[in-house]
Amino acid sequence: MESKILEVITKRRSIRNYGPGEIEEEKLRLILESARLAPSSCNSQPWHFIVVKDRKKIEDLSKDVPVGEKIIGYYASNRFISKASIIIVACANPHPITHSAAKVAGMDLLMLDMGIAIEHMVLTAAELGIGTCWLGYFSDKKIRKLLGIPKRTKIAALLSLGYPDVTGRSKEQKRKELREIYSINTYKKQ
């Protein structure tokens, strides 16, 4: 049995080498539309996406995501995003009832909602031949200041987008076998 979505999922990679070329407005709109259509808890739609196209701001973001901050014994660097055509900053505005009640119950539905919307964008971009890299480690304080993000709004992730540099192709990542990741009726570690 064939599946078009599985073909897209199979070809998707985290791209850290971007070539030249700006992302066409109609493709960007499709990517954003796919996020808009994502499901969310109680249809709260907690997202707001800042589309950063300005080259100076992209350069500033590449310095603030972070570079030179010592984390867990090594220096983290996401400087590669300076070559991206666009950076999407995924912001989350928690619903006062839905997301608060879930937090009390020990579930972070806000971040689950954001993850679904971001993955919709990642898969749509892959289908359109656009590379992405999902960044979950960044300087919240610096990005908040640079983009004027309100205190109540949570920065969920950054997504770099650009046409992949074919000379820097990423190798295929090894994945577990299907039989290793599921069991039926009870938990069984293979």
pLDDT in tens, 44-65: 999 999 999 999 999 999 886 6
* Contacts of 128 by beta carbon, 8 Å cutoff, 6+ apart: 27, 30, 31
pLDDT cut 70: percent of the chain above it: 86
Q: What is the pLDDT of residue 99?
A: 66
| The CATH number of the domain covering residues in 11-166 | 3.40.109.10
Q: Indicate whether 168 pLDDT > 80.
A: no
Average pLDDT over residues 18-26: 95
Better-scored residue on pLDDT, 63 or 98: 63
Q: Indicate whether 23 pLDDT > 90.
A: yes
Q: What is the pLDDT of residue 83?
A: 94
Contact in structure between 175 and 96 (CB atoms under 8 Å)? no
Q: What is the pLDDT of residue 105?
A: 59
Burial 145-164 (b: 16+ CB within 10 A, else e): ebbebeeeebbbbbbbbbbb
- Which pair of tokens denotes residue 71? 């984390």
Q: What is the pLDDT of residue 189?
A: 78
- Supply the DSSP symbol for 57: H
Task: Read off the pTM.
Answer: 0.88
DSSP line for 119-184: HHHHHHHHHTT-EEEEE----HHHHHHHHT--TTSEEEEEEEEE-B-GGGPPPPPP---GGGS--S
Domain boundary assignment for the chain? 11-166
Q: How far apart are CA 68 and CA 84, in angstroms?
A: 20
Write the pLDDT tens digit of every residue in 55-96. Answer: 999 999 988 666 555 555 555 567 889 999 999 999 999 887
Q: Quick one: which of 36, 156, 158, 159 has its CA closest to 99? A: 156
Q: Quick one: which of 33, 57, 22 has its CA closest to 158? A: 57
Find which of 3-12, 27-36, 57-66, 89-98 is predicted with most confidence, using mean pLDDT.
27-36
Q: How far apart are CA 124 and CA 18, in angstroms?
A: 17
